[in-house]
Amino acid sequence: MSGCGCAEVVTPGLLDLFDARARMIAAARPITGSERVGLGEAARRVLAEEVRATLDMPGVDNSAMDGYALRLAELGAESLPVVQRIPAGAGVMRLPAGGCARIFTGAPVPLGAEAVVPQERVHLDAEGRMRVEGDLAAGANIRRRGEETRAGELLLPAGARLGAAAIALLASHGVGEVAVLRRLRVALLSTGDELIEPGTARVPGQVYDSNRAMLLALLVQAGCEVLDLGVIADAPLDLHQAFAEACDGADLVMCTGGVSVGEEDHVRPVIERLGGIAFHGVAMKPGKPFALGYLGDSLSDGTPLIALPGNPVASLVGWQLLALPFVQVRQGREAAPLQRFPVVAGFSRRGPKGRRELLRVVLDWAAGTPVARLAGGQGSHMLSAASQAHGYLVIDANNNVEEGHAYEYCPAAQFLD
């Protein structure tokens, strides 16, 4: 791979990490075009239009638990006969005076009943008459009609991403299919004369292309449709041809490697000939060579291009902190806010110069509260630590890490989009 530009030097003109993230989100434009899919195909898709409730939910007053429905005025010293049995799915009945109804969870509460007493609080005598232990309030353990939603109310807004609970909500209203935005089409390529496909024979000097395999998995996980263009040689003509092909029919182009400023890093000059660069270089470690560009007339009218560093951990961090929120907005949904909270460091370490550093750490809960410990080697080429890390300890530029002090922690689970 070409050099990652991650040496411990202070480079002027770099964007602050969180400024770069804000610029990525602001630059993203949602795609257009939708299709209708059944609920079985709707997981992780983005709603193209709002969905409104078709029913009152619940549709009738129903019991929140197994028990007995009764009138409060009849709840006294005398025991009550059980005069009805109401299972879930039964029609609405009327409770006769002077008796109670055996009722089950989800069953409609009979007309005239004012509360449901849990079966655990009921004593049945030898004749099957019941007596209640303790007091009972009006409306106890009754789910009221429409207490969750009323027919016509907003159920889910356009732009909502459909997870399992949202799909269950739609199903509960009888919705069988929904309009969703089409999948974001991303053209993906790696650059580097030294890169070869995993599973092939390797000779000295060659490197297996881990970045493309990683990014393909991340893009699919994010719900994208991926056009895999493979490995492209570090040559201006090859890159020119590949980028021209990539922007034809893709909503976003993503490449990895060759984006630094070395003599063999040709990605940026080719992008500038075919379009332009919105920004290049972010004050973060790893991931400094990250770039946002475009192919065509402008970032808004052309095809956006995200250029990630060649070192695999730098590429991963660039995806998680910068590329992912751009993809989310491009998909027609909101960028997920970055989760951060303080965690104590269980180690000391010299701080980064001129850049924020994202240290790959695991959380040790042995003492009952989390303590961050290094997951392993912190080189931008070291995937072993990245694969084990629970998240990142974010260290401000020019600040040392002191054991026992708290620093911002970003959990990696939030990026499992």
The pLDDT assigned to 4 comes to: 40
Q: Residue 7 — very low, low, confident or very high, per pLDDT cuts 50/70/90? A: very low
Highest mean pLDDT among 196-210, 260-274, 398-412: 398-412
> How much of the chain is in helix, strand and coil states, percent to nearest 5?
20, 30, 50
In the chain, the domains with their CATH numbers are 17-31+183-330 (3.40.980.10), 34-55+162-181 (3.90.105.10), 62-143 (2.170.190.11), 341-415 (2.40.340.10)
Name the H helices within 249-349: 267-274, 312-318, 324-330
Containing H/E element for 308? strand 303-308
| Nearest Cα residue to 143 out of 62, 23, 26 | 62
Q: Give the pLDDT confidence of 226-237 residue by residue, as tens digits.
A: 999 999 988 899
Whole-angstrom distance, CA of residue 173 vs CA of residue 183: 25
Sheet holding 122-124, edge to edge: 115-118, 67-70, 100-103, 80-86, 129-132, 122-124
Q: Summarize pLDDT for 45-79 with one digit per residue, the tens.
A: 999 999 999 999 999 999 999 999 999 998 876 78
> Confidence band (pLDDT; 50, 70, 90) for 10?
low
Residue 263's pLDDT band (boundaries 50, 70, 90)? low
Q: Give the tens place of pLDDT for each residue, 156-178.
A: 999 999 999 999 999 999 999 99
Question: Which token pair is 332?
Answer: 């027609």
DSSP H or E stretch at residue 170: helix 164-172
Rg over alpha carbons for the chain, rounded to the nearest Å, is 30
81 beta partners: 129
1 has a pLDDT exceeding 90: no
pLDDT of residue 6: 44
Range list of β-strands (E), 111-251 = 115-118, 122-124, 129-132, 142-143, 154-156, 177-181, 185-191, 195-196, 207-208, 225-232
Does residue 340 register a pLDDT over 90? yes
The fraction of the chain above a pLDDT of 90, given in percent, is 85
| Mean pLDDT, rounded, for 135-152 | 95
Residue 117 has a CB neighbour count (10 Å cut-off) of 22
Cβ-proximal residues to 382 (8 Å cutoff; 6+ apart), any chain? 313, 376
| Model confidence band, residue 217 (pLDDT cutoffs 50, 70, 90) | very high
What is the β-pairing status of strands 391-395 and 356-364?
Answer: antiparallel
Q: How far apart are CA 228 and CA 317, in angstroms?
A: 21
Sequence-ordered list of residues with C-beta below 8 angstroms from that of 248, at least 6 positions apart, any chain: none
Q: Is 315 helix (H, G, I), strand (E, B) or coil?
A: helix
The average pLDDT across 295-310 equals 94
Judged on CB neighbours under 10 Å (0-12, 13-18, 19+), 180 is buried
Output the pLDDT for position 75: 83
- Mean pLDDT in residue range 260-274: 78
What tokens appear for 88 in the block?
């879930």
Secondary structure of residue 6 in the 3-state scheme? coil
Measured distance CA(392)–CA(387) in Å, rounded: 12
What is the residue-wise DSSP string for 128-163? SEEEE-S---TTTTEEPTTSSB-TTSEEE-TT-B--
Record the tokens describing residue 147, joined without a space: 């207490």
Tell me the whole-structure pTM to 2 decimals: 0.87
User: What is the mean predicted confidence (pLDDT) over 117-129?
Assistant: 91
For residue 8, what pLDDT is reported? Answer: 54
pLDDT band at 251 (very low <50, low <70, confident <90, very high): very high
Measured N-to-C along each axis, helices 267-274 and 236-246 cross at an angle, to the nearest 10 degrees, of 50
Among 315, 308, 294, which residue's Cα sits nearest to residue 386? 315
Which pLDDT value is given to residue 260? 66
CB-based contacts of 304, cutoff 8 Å, min separation 6: 27, 28, 251, 252, 253, 292, 293, 294, 326, 330
Peptide bond into 110 cis (omega under 30): no
Beta bridge partners of 161: 46
Q: What is the pLDDT of residues 355-385, one digit of tens each?
A: 999 999 999 999 999 999 999 999 999 999 9
